[in-house]
């Protein structure tokens, strides 16, 4: 059991039953020249957390914890995009239109991909919303991922396709896998199979990172809370275009005895793992 010196009180978890949720670290939201910056947002606060999220991923992989990446994305025919979402804000460029990095929020578009530095490794599992199918990444996605700089980890790919052995690995809960959830909403649970995937793996605890704090991270953490997960938001591994919203969200989530969950910076999470390793050595 790992104990983090979190707010509002110590957060305890078993890494075999804990997943790291990396929310929407997508090029269009974070890179200069993407859709987010085209809308006039200052993307630098988001770009600034990338090294922290990378460290968190390295930690999770080294600890053989499950990792879930989410992407806010829609099918090319936009059949999973509510009309209300597409017209909201009367945008000059709407979801599905040609944006600076391909079609905006459409699967397969370059801007819709996870930042290369944080991308899942080649051959890792992909889960699709609206479907129960879990399988290897599709060829087109595999090639998109080849541009990724894999982070050194226990997951370094080998000659054998990893997918072939995943079914049994899942059940052994050895945790050396990554899920990618394509989600049509702000929340990662809505209209996806995330809850079923987590339940199937015995996950009870979630660590949240990603962007933006008050939109997709908060929405997903609130959904997780209603579903009975114990969640901690890694505060310096999340960011918003608006600093005040980031801070207000952290305060709201953890108020009233942790009404939605806990918060802690990465350093305290790392310290907790180190302490446990020391005790068991």
Contact residues toward a second copy (CB under 8 A) are 8-9, 39, 82-85, 88-91, 184-187, 190-191, 204, 214-215, 218-219, 222-223, 225-230, 241-242, 244-245, 248-249, 251-252, 255-260
List 170, 176, 182, 216, catalytic entry: 216
SS (H, E, C) 162-226: HHHHHHHHHHHCCCCCEEEEEECCCCCCCCCCHHHHHHHCCCCEEEEEEECHHHHHHHHHHHHHH
Bridging pattern class, strands 66-72 and 18-23: parallel
Given the complex with a second copy, which of 26 and 249 has the nearer CB atom?
Answer: 249
Measure the CA–CA gap between 20 and 210, rounded to whole angstroms. 10
Q: How far is the CB of 30 from a second copy (least distance, A)?
A: 15
| 178 versus 197: smaller Cβ distance to a second copy | 197
**What is the radius of gyration, based on Cα positions, of the chain?**
18
User: Rounded to the nearest whole angstrom, what is the least distance from the CB of residue 185 to a second copy in the complex?
Assistant: 3
Query: For residue 109, what are the CA distances in angstroms to 100, 115, 157?
Result: 10, 13, 25
Closer residue to a second copy, CB minimum distance, 87 or 274? 87
Beta-carbon-side half-sphere exposure of residue 228 (alpha carbons within 13 Å) = 7
One of 28, 182, 183, 238 is an active-site residue; which one? 183
Choice between 137 and 260, CB closer to a second copy: 260
Least separation in angstroms between residue 259's CB and a second copy is: 6
Q: Is 24 one of the catalytic residues?
A: yes
All residues at 6 or more sequence positions from 48 whose CB lies less than 8 Å from its CB, including other chains: 239
Q: Which is nearer to a second copy, 39 or 169 (CB)?
A: 39
Q: Smallest distance, Å, CB 189 to a second copy? A: 9
Catalytic residue among 24, 28, 170, 182: 24
**ω into 212 cis (within 30 of 0):** yes
Q: Which residue is listed with tokens 């990618």?
A: 180
Q: For the CB of residue 241, give the shortest distance to a second copy in the complex, in Å.
A: 8
Which residues, 6+ apart, have CB-to-CB distance to 39 below 8 Å? Answer: none
Q: Does a cis peptide bond (omega within 30 degrees of 0) precede residue 143?
A: no
The catalytic residues are 24, 183, 216
């Amino acid at each position: 059991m790992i104990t983090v010196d979190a707010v509002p009180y110590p957060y305890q978890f078993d890494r075999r039953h804990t997943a790291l949720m990396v929310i929407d670290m997508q090029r269009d939201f974070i890179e200069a020249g993407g859709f987010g910056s085209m809308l006039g947002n200052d993307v630098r606060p988001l770009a600034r957390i990338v090294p922290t999220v990378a460290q968190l991923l390295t930690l999770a992989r080294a600890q053989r914890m499950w990792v879930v990446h989410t992407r806010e994305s829609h099918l090319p025919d936009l059949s999973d995009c509510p009309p209300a979402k597409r017209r909201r804000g009367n945008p000059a460029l709407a979801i599905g239109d040609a944006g600076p990095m391909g079609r905006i929020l459409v699967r397969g578009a370059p801007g819709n991909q996870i930042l290369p530095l944080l991308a899942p490794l080649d051959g890792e599992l992909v889960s699709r919303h609206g479907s129960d199918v879990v399988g290897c990444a599709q060829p087109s996605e595999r090639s998109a991922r080849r541009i990724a700089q894999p982070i050194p980890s226990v997951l370094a790919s080998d000659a054998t396709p990893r997918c072939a052995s995943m079914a049994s690995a899942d059940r052994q809960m050895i945790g050396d896998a990554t899920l990618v959830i394509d989600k049509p909403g702000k929340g990662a649970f809505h209209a996806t199979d995330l809850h079923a995937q987590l339940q199937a793996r015995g996950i009870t605890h979630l660590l949240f990172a990603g962007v933006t704090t008050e939109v997709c991270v908060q929405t997903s953490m609130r959904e997780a809370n209603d579903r009975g997960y114990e969640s901690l938001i890694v505060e310096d591994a999340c960011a918003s275009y608006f600093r005040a919203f980031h801070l207000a969200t952290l305060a709201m989530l953890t108020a009233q005895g942790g009404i939605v969950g806990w918060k802690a910076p990465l350093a305290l999470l790392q310290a907790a793992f180190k302490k446990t390793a020391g005790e068991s050595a």
